[in-house]
Amino acid sequence: MRDRRLTRGWSGPARDQRASAGPRCAPAAQRQVVGRCGDTWITERLLTARRSLPNPTAETLKVGVMGQEVQISGTAKELAKERALLAQSTSEVAPGKLQIMDRAARELNNPMADLIGLKLLQSSTPIRLENLVHALVTAMSTGPEPPKHPPMVILAMTREVEKVLATLQSLHFAKVKEGEYELTAEGRRFFQRVADQQGEFLARFNAIQ
């Protein structure tokens, strides 16, 4: 009798082991990303998940029975307050202003916006894009030295930083000249409020015994 293990549909141990072995490294000539196979696979998975979001630049959370949107960054929270005050104002609002703020609140609803805005606030001189990306990587590290990431990860982070900066410019919170970014006077006032709110929260948190 023919050995059933030779049939095409057999799902014995060897087949199960191959299925659970995880991603295999492609030959070096076929790799599109510099880095180890594990790093490449993880990076591709992260980017695929990122592109699958309804709005790739928004990090929104839906919670509660009604699925309400929650601000997970101080920047988005402060911007929502500013938008609400502007909507209730009796003074004339520029056409499209509320729509711009709504879109910006979604795009800045991630901790990266806080890190970038506060880094610009702390600097007395304009900052180049690569320095902002380096500051972001350093802030995300728990060790004394920033972790080493594959080039693809750094480039992906750079694109996200550029999106945040573009949104801040649309709000007239930031400006760029010769590749260097800085906050406008309005942007400095805005992120000072964000910094104050975060400082007050951390003070209450640290006071907990």
8-43 pLDDT tens trace:
444 444 444 444 444 454 444 444 433 344 444 444
Partners of residue 172 on adjacent β-strands: none
Report if residue 161 sits inside a domain: yes
Q: SS3 for 128?
A: strand
pLDDT at 97 (0 to 100): 83
Question: Could you read off the pLDDT of 43-85 as tens digits, one per residue?
Answer: 444 444 444 434 433 334 434 444 455 667 899 999 989 888 8
Q: Report if residue 168 sits inside a domain.
A: yes
Query: In the prediction, which pLDDT does 33 show?
Result: 39
Instruction: Evaluate whether residue 75 is within a structural domain.
Output: yes
Residue 10 lies in a domain: no
List of residues 6+ apart from 112 with CB closer than 8 A = 73, 136, 160, 161, 164
Cα angle for residues 13, 18, 23 (degrees, 5° grid): 155
Q: Which of 113, 133, 130 is nearest to 174 (CA)?
A: 113
Give the separation between CA 165 and CA 113, rounded to whole angstroms.
9
Residue 4 pLDDT > 70: no
Domain assignment of residue 107, given as a range: 55-207
The mean pLDDT of the chain is 74
Tokens standing for residue 68: 């309400």
User: What per-residue confidence (pLDDT) applies to 42?
Assistant: 42
- The residue whose two tokens read 């006032």 is 189
pLDDT of residue 148: 79
Does 81 fall in a domain? yes
- The answer to the question of residue 15 being in a domain is no
Cα 169 from Cα 167, distance rounded (Å) = 5
CATH of residue 164: 1.10.10.10
Q: What was the pLDDT predicted at 70?
A: 63
Q: Flag whether 23 is in a domain.
A: no
Q: How many domains does the chain have?
A: 1
pLDDT score recorded for residue 43: 45
Kindly state the tokens that stand for 29.
């000539």
Q: Which amino acid is at 179?
A: G
Q: For residue 37, is it within any domain?
A: no
Average pLDDT (137-148) is 75
Q: What is the pLDDT of residues 143-189, one digit of tens each?
A: 777 667 888 989 999 999 999 999 999 999 999 999 999 999 999 99
Helical packing angle, 151-170 and 111-122, nearest 10°: 70
